[in-house]
Amino acid sequence: MLFKSSGKLRYSTTTKYWVTLDADPTIGSYYRNLFNLYHFNCKLIKKPSWAEHVTVVRNEEPVNKMAWSFYNEMVVEFEYDSQIKTDGDFYWLDVYCDFLYQIRVELGLKKNPEYPFHLTIGNRN
């Protein structure tokens, strides 16, 4: 089942190129609590190191630097899947948003990021 939410875009101001979409922290809290309850608090996942977010650009230098920061602090709507996914260490929700692909293309990057858009809700580390 897909749910809708929104977040604020944030462009890095350092020499590394990162763009993230800050998400509502209650989404992560809700799904961590559900997971922990489902496992009777015997198998716990912890809050990720960074606040809840979707990574749009992950240390990729843009070809079109003129487009950098163009959408900084813009509120963007996205959809996320309620099904928790895992690789055994990290837990996330798949995210869908055509506008995030558009940002990557405008920056001259490949449309699809190395890791598909997702919202990390926790980890076991």
CA distance 25 to 42: 23
Q: State the pLDDT at residue 120.
A: 94
Residues of the chain with pLDDT under 70: none
Q: State the pLDDT at residue 15.
A: 75
Residue that the structure tokens 């979409």 belong to: 21
Average per-residue pLDDT for the chain: 95
CA distance 22 to 53: 4
Q: Which of 26, 21, 28 is nearest to 6 (CA)?
A: 21
CA distance 51 to 68: 22
85-86/2-11 β-pairing: unpaired
Q: State the pLDDT at residue 14.
A: 82
**pLDDT tens-digit map of 43-72:** 889 998 889 999 999 999 999 999 999 999
